[in-house]
Amino acid sequence: MFRLDGKVAIVTGASSGLGVAFARALAEAGADVALGARRVDKLEQTREMVTGLGRRAIAVATDVSRPEDCEALVAAAVEELGAVDILVNNAGVGTAVPATRETPEQFRSVIDINLNGCYWMAQAFGRAAAGSGTIVNIGSVIGLTTGGLPQAAYSASKAGLMGLTRDLAQQWTVRKGIRVNCIAPGFFATEMTDQYDPSYLEMMSPRVVSGRLGKTEELAATLVWLVSDAAGYVTGQTIAVDGGVTIT
Which residues are marked as active site? 154
The residues that bridge with 32 in the sheet, in sequence order, are: 8
| Residues contacting 189, CB < 8 A, separation 6+ | 213, 214, 215, 216
How many Å apart are CA 166 and CA 182, to the nearest integer?
9
Of the candidates 47, 105, 39, 116, the residue with the CA atom closest to the CA atom of residue 76: 47
Of the candidates 15, 49, 18, the residue with the CA atom closest to the CA atom of residue 214: 18
159 close to 146: Cβ distance less than 8 angstroms: no
- Give the full edge-to-edge strand order of the sheet including 238-241: 57-61, 32-37, 8-12, 86-89, 133-138, 178-185, 238-241
